[in-house]
Amino acid sequence: MWCRKQRQVKLTECRTAVGAFGGGEYTNGVYATALMVVKAGSSDRPAIPGLNSPPFLPAEVLRETMGDHPCVMRRSLTKYKSLFPAIDFSTIVGDNDILWKPSPRETSDEVAARGVEFVNW
């Protein structure tokens, strides 16, 4: 159960971001690709349009501590692309999680180094 909840958190983060920064409703026949499809990740949420929304560019290094638990691995990029079609995943390398390793768990210094990498990005 813990693993399933952890994977759900990652989807929840995407849903929260598009919900907070997503575009307005479709009006006057104007169409924009959906930021999030209806019921993404088994949620009960409606689709969120990408109309007038800022660009979304995920950063692979922004994530929880990795290692030990396979449930903290990122889902396949193919899955995320199908749930969040307007998000630009071009900076993510590979369909599967290439950063996660089974053991040992990341140290605080390694997590901090990823934080610095993001700031320098």
pLDDT tens-digit map of 22-54:
766 656 666 677 888 887 777 777 778 777 788
pTM, entire model: 0.70
The single residue listed with the structure tokens 């997503």 is 22
- For residue 26, the model assigns a pLDDT of 58
> CA-to-CA distance for 117 and 101, rounded, in angstroms?
18
Contact 69, 6 (CB under 8 A): yes
